[in-house]
């Protein structure tokens, strides 16, 4: 069984479009994350949710809006896509943020290409 | 934000040799973790070392942590072709993981 799953795996779209990426975890974790990995492989955290509440919101354009309908799901909606949004987006989860030694479990990634 | 640095950026060795990767950071940490990323895949947790530990082993992996130098190293012994991947360190600081830039390891058969 897949622990952290993302859909779609690949997303090719035109500049200016709006798209969503979905993430689900079946680990019973309280905390979920969205990361962006650029072409140089730098991994940058974008958002973190704990029990459906936003706890980390790094400097990300407000075209990116996360939504957590429940603690097992964290979706990422992107408005008015730009060329620079092309990257691999990873969803991850961890048990919670109240304790230390948090191991994160990653999804397989969504490869977004904006043309 | 990126506050961890890893070196080398890339490492190519022969199968059977040992591979050593280093990670340095700037903030105080609670623990340091190493992750592995195969090409086109998500990251997988390898090992976690707490700030009060100096060395930890897991199979062919050996991790050291020197908090006075704010650095850690990952040693993979007797490397195999399947070890080819990118390796990332991540520092647990204030309940966030701060990531290094990664070391790309290539094991030549």
Domain extent at residue A97: 4-114
Best CA proximity match to B104, nearest among A40, A107, A103: A40
- What total number of domains does chain A contain? 1
Query: For residues B98 and B91, is the Cβ–Cβ distance under 8 A?
Result: yes
Task: Please report, in angstroms and rounded to a whole number, the separation of the first and last CA atoms in chain B.
Answer: 36
Per-residue pLDDT tens digits for B47-105: 999 999 999 999 999 999 999 999 999 999 999 999 999 999 998 877 677 888 899 99
3-state class (DSSP) for residue A92? strand
For residue A42, list chain B residues with Cβ-Cβ distance below 8 A.
2, 99, 101-102
Q: Measure B76 CA to nearest chain A CA, in Å.
A: 20
CA-to-CA separations, B108 to A10, A28, B17, B19, B82, in angstroms, rounded: 30, 40, 10, 12, 10
Domains for chain B: give ranges and CATH numbers: 5-108 (2.60.40.10)
Q: Which of A5, A49, A91, A103 is the mutation pick for testing B, counting most B CBs within 10 A?
A: A103
Q: Is B102 on the interface with A (CB under 8 A)?
A: yes
* CATH classification at residue A47: 2.60.40.10
Per-residue pLDDT tens digits for A43-64: 888 988 887 788 777 778 899 9
For residue A103, list chain B residues with Cβ-Cβ distance below 8 A.
33, 45, 48
């Amino acid at each position: 069984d897949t622990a952290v799953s993302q859909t779609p795996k690949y997303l090719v779209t035109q500049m200016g479009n709006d798209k969503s990426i979905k993430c689900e975890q079946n680990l019973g974790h309280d905390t979920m994350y969205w990361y962006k990995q650029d072409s140089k492989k730098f991994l940058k955290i974008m958002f973190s949710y704990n029990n459906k509440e936003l706890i980390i919101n790094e400097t990300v354009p407000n075209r990116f809006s996360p939504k957590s309908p429940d603690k097992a799901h964290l979706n990422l909606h992107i408005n008015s896509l730009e060329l620079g949004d092309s990257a691999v987006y990873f969803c991850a989860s961890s048990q919670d943020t109240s304790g230390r030694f948090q191991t994160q479990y990653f999804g397989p990634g969504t490869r977004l290409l904006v043309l | 934000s990126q506050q961890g640095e890893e070196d080398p950026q890339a490492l190519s060795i022969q199968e059977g040799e040992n591979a050593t990767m280093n990670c340095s950071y700037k903030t105080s940490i609670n623990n340091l973790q190493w992750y592995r990323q195969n090409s086109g895949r998500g990251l997988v947790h390898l090992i976690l070392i707490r700030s009060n530990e100096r060395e930890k082993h897991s199979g062919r992996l050996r991790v050291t942590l020197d908090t006075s130098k704010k650095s850690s190293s990952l040693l993979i012994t007797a490397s195999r072709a399947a070890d080819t991947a990118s390796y990332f360190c991540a520092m647990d600081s204030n309940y966030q993981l701060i990531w290094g830039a990664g070391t790309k390891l290539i094991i030549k058969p």
